[in-house]
Amino acid sequence: MMWDAYLSLAVENPALFWAIFAVTSGGTALLISQAVPLFTQLLLKRFFQDDTKQFYSRVVEPHRSLLTLTGALGILDLVALILLQGLWYVPWYRNLEFGLTLALTLSLGLFLSQCFQTYFDEYLLGAAVEEGRKTNSELLVVSRFLANLGLIFILTTLFAQTHQINIIGVFASLGVGGIAIAFSAQKVLEQLLGGVVLYVDRPFEIDDYIGLPDGTFGRVETIGLRSTKIRTSGKGTLAIVPNSSLIQTTVENFTGAKKVMAIVYLNLYRAVGEEEQALIRQVITESTRDIFGIDTRSTDITFRTLDSGNLTQVQATLFILGATGSSMDIRRQLLDIANQKMTQRLKSYGISFDIEEPIVYVDSPITI
């Protein structure tokens, strides 16, 4: 009976009918959407088992109102689809659906963008600081911009595909315009591509001391997309060098030229004569000669007699070239290879020994 009265009202007074329908549907959608945050938390717990509650409270909870609005618009869009399109076939449903879906897409995009911004501030920046490395703020800004740009692209493509909008044609027209802009801004694009090459190849990093063929020498302060800023030594001025020039010239990295001393201790539980010392020195030198990255010219080997002559300790100091903080694993692999070769050679001569652990690593920067 109530349903028949509702339908008769639609015939007799359409304006009142649609007003009641809008208020009822909107209120119902708003009430149901209050459960969306709880559903989101359960969904996160289902796929992300670790620290779900903390992640939700730090990233999603600050934007609860946007999440509720997005859920209300989604439910309202679904109700309109079922009633206006599935039951009543209202002719102007397409216009209403277009507006509702557009509002839903904008609300969802804003919610995801705000959540990513919070995640970026709470987690990514914190992780970059905790790793103890020099963080390039410009690179972080670019990464955040690209992530937001990717989000906009995905939502725009989904909206266009569901509403028969020729998104390929739009992008094609933008591509033609982009080509025209590229020809008019060739130098700027060349510098931007140079920045990308520097980020990928990483011939130097922030705080490295570098020298250029034109005599510029100093510490790298920032590496931007278009240019690199170098604080010159002596004068203290700031040299701004286009990235396109840096990828086409010889860059002398003085910081990257530092050596890392790896000190290895070999213990022989007996006295060692001069001839045997010479043999051990020769074996160590020859075993490390062919190992890439080890400067054999700087290898230093000393012998010490301990425990009243019952223990002879051999200290082998090896120098690994061009090592940075990210190549510690490579250093150890190189040294493991050297140790294996030394062990095999010395055992072939009947010399037994123990290697003390751990191996000591000492930075030995060059003098600038």
pLDDT tens by residue, 115-155: 888 888 777 766 654 444 444 555 666 677 788 888 888 98
CA distance 242 to 41: 48
Is the backbone peptide bond immediately before 358 cis, with ω within 30 degrees of 0?
yes
Short-list 74, 38, 73, CA closest to 56: 38
CA angle 276/281/284 to nearest 5° reads 125
Judge residue 246's burial from the number of C-beta atoms within 10 Å of its C-beta, 0-12 exposed, 13-18 middle, 19 or more buried.
Answer: buried
CA distance 59 to 118: 6
Tokens of 362: 């000492």
| Tens-binned pLDDT, residue by residue, of the chain (368 aa) | 444 555 554 445 555 555 556 666 666 666 666 666 667 767 666 666 556 777 778 888 888 888 888 888 888 888 778 777 766 676 766 777 888 889 889 999 999 999 888 888 777 766 654 444 444 555 666 677 788 888 888 988 888 888 877 766 666 666 655 665 655 566 767 777 777 778 777 788 888 888 898 888 898 988 887 889 999 887 888 999 988 888 888 888 877 666 677 788 888 888 888 888 899 888 888 877 766 667 777 788 999 888 887 888 988 888 776 555 545 566 666 667 777 777 888 888 888 888 877 676 666 655 55
Phi, psi for 295 (deg, rounded to 5): -85, 95
H or E segment and range at residue 151: helix 137-162
**How many Å from the N-terminal Cα to the C-terminal Cα in the chain?**
93
Calculate helix-pair angle for 167-184, 186-201, nearest 10 degrees. 100
The predicted model scores a pTM of 0.48
What would the pLDDT profile of 285-294 be if each residue is shown by its tens digit?
887 776 666 7
**Length, in residues, of the chain:** 368
Calculate helix-pair angle for 64-80, 36-47, nearest 10 degrees. 100
